[in-house]
Amino acid sequence: MIAWAITGGEYLLRESVSIIEALGPDKTEIFLSRAADEVLRANRLTDFLERYRVFRDSYPSSPEIKFLYKGRYDLLVVAPATSNTVAKFIHGISDTLVTNMFAQAGKVKIPILVLPTDFQEIVEYETPGGKKFRFYPRRIDLENVRKLGEFEGVKVVASPESLKIEILKIQTSKSLKE
């Protein structure tokens, strides 16, 4: 089972939802940051959630973390991961559902895949309505992504395609061990 955490990044959100839907509700449970809830609603992407078990960031203690310790999940995916979330990850801040999931997954050695929104110097983005944007991640955001890639048990991917490949690798190795 995959624990999939979504943060408030609009960039790569649709692609992440597509991957979740391809995996299906029998293989994926969803953890939403407060900002993710807002961004999904703003982009009219909430319908798919009805088919999944969804946990929202509503308790300071994040009681859902217990599932990590009970062996429920084989993998934690954080996609999309905003620069704010990545910064919290690398500084060990665990004050939200998603940052708690990340910290605790690392402590129980569950593999973690992260698809950050700020992974290259220039990001070109087209909204569903066809409006094109270009943004330039700050040097600190790019440095944080680099540092995150050095964490034990964490793999940072730079595209939805790479994310799919890494998920498949982990699922294949898991099924081979069983």
Secondary structure (H, E, C), 11-80: CCHHHHHHHHHHHCCCCEEEEECHHHHHHHHHCCCCHHHHHCCEEECCCCCCHHHHHHHCCCCCEEEEEE
Q: Rounded to the nearest 10 degrees, what angle do helices 160-177 and 13-23 cross at?
A: 30
pLDDT (0 to 100) of residue 107? 96
**Tell me: the pLDDT tens digits for 66-123?**
899 999 999 999 999 999 999 999 999 999 999 999 999 999 999 999 999 998 888 8
CA distances from 101 to 111, 122, 132 (A): 12, 29, 33
With a threshold of 0.85, does the pTM exceed it?
yes
CATH topology for 2-177 is Rossmann fold (3.40.50)
